[in-house]
Amino acid sequence: MSSNSSALHAKPDLRSGAEATASSGARADSANVQLPIDKELVLKVTPMPADCNANGDIFGGWVMAQVDIAGSIVPARYTQGRMATVAVNQFIFKQPVRVGDLLSFFSGVERVGRTSITVKVEVFAERIRAQRVYVKVTEASLTYVAIDENGQPRTLPNPEGSHLMAY
């Protein structure tokens, strides 16, 4: 059978891009993903060696702290004053973060309540050796509440936030 004939009779690969890449010997996380266009880029940071765990990956707690900072940027426009993180509704580590990765944190509002705002944060790594190739490493949902001087919940000054969408 010629090489053309075998190519014609080959079965299609129905696996996802990541599965196909993983089995072909390439790194599973090397597939480029699109950065979100419906969320705002709120933070960019590069983890350093001091942020590593014993396995050489970046501590999950370090990533969580950065997500909390990034997640608070958009709600700060709504609260126009003090606020506090009241819930981490969901937190998913999809891929390890490595020293030298350039992390991009995108955030968008999921829900606005009377005193609180829930945001979704998505984190993408640009690997140091693969510039402009992005891997989604983390996603999270967090809720922030507006608080007064005594730390008590207060009503949001502008719950609609309609003037805040032009970033």
Residue at 85 is within a domain: yes
DSSP state of 19: H
Task: Report the pLDDT value the prediction gives residue 2, as an integer from 0 to 100.
Answer: 46
Residue 16 has what pLDDT? 35
**More confident: 40 or 157:** 40
Does 167 map to a domain? no
Count of structural domains, the chain: 1
pLDDT at site 132 = 86
For 24, 106, 123, the CA distances from 44, given in Å and listed in that order, are 32, 9, 9
The average confidence (pLDDT) of the chain is 83
pLDDT tens for 101-136 read 999 999 999 999 999 999 999 999 999 888 889 999
Residue 72 lies in a domain: yes
Give the angle 155-165-82 at the CA atoms, nearest 5°.
35
Asked whether residue 12 is domain-assigned, the answer is no
Task: Give residue-wise pLDDT tens across range 147-162.
Answer: 999 999 999 987 665 4
Which pLDDT belongs to residue 10? 41
Q: Is residue 114 part of a domain?
A: yes
**Mean pLDDT across 91-95:** 97
The DSSP secondary structure of 83-126, one letter per residue, reads EEEEEEEEEEE-S--BTT-EEEEEEEEEEE-SSEEEEEEEEEEE
Residue 146 within any structural domain of the chain: yes
Q: Look at residue 130 and tell me if it is in a domain.
A: yes
Q: Give the CATH number for residue 111.
A: 3.10.129.10
pTM of the model: 0.78
Rounded CA gap, 87 and 98, in Å? 27
For residue 161, what pLDDT is reported? 56
Residue 27 lies in a domain: no
Confidence check: pLDDT of 1 > 50: no
Which residue range is the domain that position 139 belongs to?
38-155
6-20, 66-80, 150-164: which is most confident: 66-80
- Strand partners for 102: 126
Average pLDDT over residues 51-63: 95
Is the predicted pLDDT of residue 32 greater than 90, yes or no? no
